[in-house]
Amino acid sequence: MDVILSEQERIRINKLEELKNVGINPYPSNEFEVTCKTIDILSNFNEYDGKTVKLAGRLMSRRIMGGASFGEIQDSEGKIQIYIQRDSICQEDDKTLYNTVFKKLIDLGDFIGIEGYVFKTKVGEISVHVNTFTLLSKSIKPLPCVKDDGNNVHDAFSDPEQRYRQRYVDLVVNRDVRNIFRKRTQIVQTMRNFMNIHGYDEVETPILQPLYGGAAARPFKTHHNTLDRDLYLRISNELYLKRLIVGGYDGVYEFSKDFRNEGMDRYHNPEFTQVELYVAYKDYKWMMSFVEEMLSQVAEKVTGNLNVQVGDNIISFKTPWQRYTMFEIIEKYTGIDISDMDEEKLRDVANSLDIYIDPTLGYGKIIDEIFGAKCEPNLTQPTFIIDYPVEMSPLAKQKVDDPKFVERFELFINGKECANAFSELNDPIEQRKRFEDELDMARRGDPEAMQMDEDFINAISYGMPPTAGVGIGIDRLTMIMTNATSIQEVIFFPQMRN
């Protein structure tokens, strides 16, 4: 297959061959020792002033002025100005390294290594006077750059789809993007530290599962050739983590990649990250307080404030957070009390509210559709929605004082669900009945109904202590903490449409 090259690419490939002709390997294998980062010099100039340093990174700009040049080198932490003088980097009368290599054969985007001393220019800019210069990697494709033709600015690599498809370029030319992912790392580290301090164990559970479960979602299906059986990419790790509670752990958590074969929009990606935590001898009320405290610490650690700017809203993570039952919040935003309605009446209510209800959906899913359309978008501040109808929660324990409801909460922030938690159902007989109800929903045509998991029932039949569990979406939480408008902004390599 012939590769179609642009004119700029052909020129750079020719330069690559010329470099070889003058004895320079454009892709050397030897180590280049880096003694510091650009941020170290820029933040501590007095410490580095006059001292020799070694830096490596991309050449991002260059101004050639005869026998001397100014440029910028960019490493993982930032940029710094470099000053290259022909007589400093060339030995005796051989000026090839400067006149031929640096001026003609080196391009913007090439990786270079430099050694030199730190100084300030006459205008006060911190710089490195280069004494030795090494090509570390030749770039064949030119980086996009901003150009102004007098009327328009173009080639700025600002188109979102292009950025997401070529994140490697996005990270080079749009430096603020790196800050989003650094904050994402801080979020995960803060949560991990918080759970570790409480004595809970981080574990790993299977991604390929013989049965999918733990959530209402469509799975991705694959086939294992050696076993000659179909397997599923997990939609949740809940049922495996609860097996570990059966096995004697007091608390386990996992940061997991999960996969759901569902629609894509700015809040949904088929591959996403969540953390799930299960703690023995606790209930959903305890878990609400735990989540409040943990996410408040996340906000303060990542943003330095309990008041986080998200779009036009200020989200306050100061505790305690608002709490409503599912029926209370529906009545608050629709004016309709649905607490005593059956499935038929709920369909009539949804129709009166102009909410389309698929004929395959049952009682619990209809309530969820009404809530999603009329309530969810209004929940800007952190809000717990509690006490769901039992039909909506096949893995949650019923309330003792009112078994029509289960001990469950969902956390909503900025109009979207960010966490889901239960007092976990640990009655194997009731769990079997719930799974059978799900099978009935599947026969009615619900593609997201859960399967019967005999091994899970077998596990809790050995006895599972009272347990609280929660799942928290890392991607959506990162969107909030970084003021991102799309989930694609907080995932390095999101799925894209063809």
pLDDT cut 70: percent of the chain above it: 98
When pLDDT is averaged across residues 175-190 and rounded to a whole number, the result is 96
| Three-state secondary structure string covering the chain | CCCCCCHHHHHHHHHHHHHHHCCCCCCCCCCCCCCCCHHHHHHCHHHHECCEEEEEEEEEEEEEECCEEEEEEECCCCEEEEEEEHHHHCCCCCCHHHHHHHHHHCCCCCEEEEEEEEEECCCCCEEEEEEEEEEEECCCCCCCCCEECCCCEECCCCCHHHHHHCHHHHHHHCCHHHHHHHHHHHHHHHHHHHHHHCCCEECCCCCEECCCCCCCCCCEEEEECCCCEEEEECCCCHHHHHHHHHCCCCEEEEEEEEECCCCCECCECCEEEEEEEEEECCCHHHHHHHHHHHHHHHHHHHHCCCEEEECCEEEECCCCCEEEEHHHHHHHHHCCCCCCCCHHHHHHHHHHCCCCCCCCCCHHHHHHHHHHHHCHHHCCCCEEEEEEEHHHCCCECECCCCCCEEEEEEEEECCEEEEEEEEECCCHHHHHHHHHHHHHHHHCCCCCCCCCCHHHHHHHHCCCCCEEEEEEEHHHHHHHHHCCCCHHHCCCCCCCCC
pLDDT of residue 145: 74
In the prediction, which pLDDT does 147 show? Answer: 58
Question: How wide is the angle at C-alpha 174 spanned by C-alphas 170 and 177, nearest 5°?
Answer: 80
User: What average pLDDT does the segment 39-51 reach?
Assistant: 97
CB-side neighbour CA atoms (13 Å) of 239: 28
Q: Return the closest-CA partner of residue 494 out of 25, 163, 115.
A: 163
Q: Are 215 and 422 in contact (CB under 8 A)?
A: no
Segment 386-413 shows an average pLDDT of 93
Residue 105 dihedral angles phi and psi, to the nearest 5°: -105, -15
Q: Which of 83-97, 281-295, 454-468 has the lowest mean pLDDT?
A: 83-97
List 116's β-bridge partners, or say none. Answer: 53, 130
Q: What is the pLDDT of residue 148?
A: 52
- Cα angle 456, 460, 464; round to 5: 140
The pLDDT tens digits of the residues spanning 290-302 come to: 999 999 999 999 9
- Angle in degrees, CA 21, 24, 28, rounded to 5: 135
Location of each CATH 3.30.930.10 domain in the chain: 176-321+381-489
Task: Give the pLDDT score at 389.
Answer: 87
What pLDDT, on a 0 to 100 scale, did the predictor assign at position 441? 86
Percent of the chain with pLDDT over 90: 86
CATH number of 7-137: 2.40.50.140
For the stretch 108-159, pLDDT in tens is 999 999 999 999 999 999 999 999 999 999 999 999 875 555 555 445 788 8
Long-range contacts (CB closer than 8 Å, 24 or more residues apart) made by 342-350? 346/370
pLDDT above 70 for 1: no
350 near 372, Cβ under 8 Å?
A: no
The per-residue pLDDT for range 309-323, each reduced to its tens digit, is 999 999 999 999 999
pTM score: 0.92
Query: What is residue 158's predicted lDDT score, i.e. its pLDDT?
Result: 87
Q: What is the pLDDT of residue 153?
A: 47
Residues 202-254 pLDDT 10s: 999 999 999 999 998 999 999 999 999 999 999 999 999 999 999 999 999 99
Q: Where in the chain is the domain with CATH 2.40.50.140?
A: 7-137
Choice among 21-25, 90-94, 266-270, 452-456 with the minimum mean pLDDT: 90-94
How many whole angstroms separate alpha carbon 211 and alpha carbon 233?
9
Instruction: Identify the pLDDT of residue 150.
Output: 52
What average pLDDT does range 49-61 have in this prediction?
Answer: 97
> What would the mean pLDDT of 35-57 be, rounded to a whole number?
97
CATH architecture of 176-321+381-489: 2-Layer Sandwich (3.30)
Cα–Cα distance, 449 to 442 (Å, whole number): 5
Residues 6+ positions from 167 with CB-CB distance below 8 Å: 177, 492, 493
pLDDT of residue 170: 94
pLDDT at 364: 87
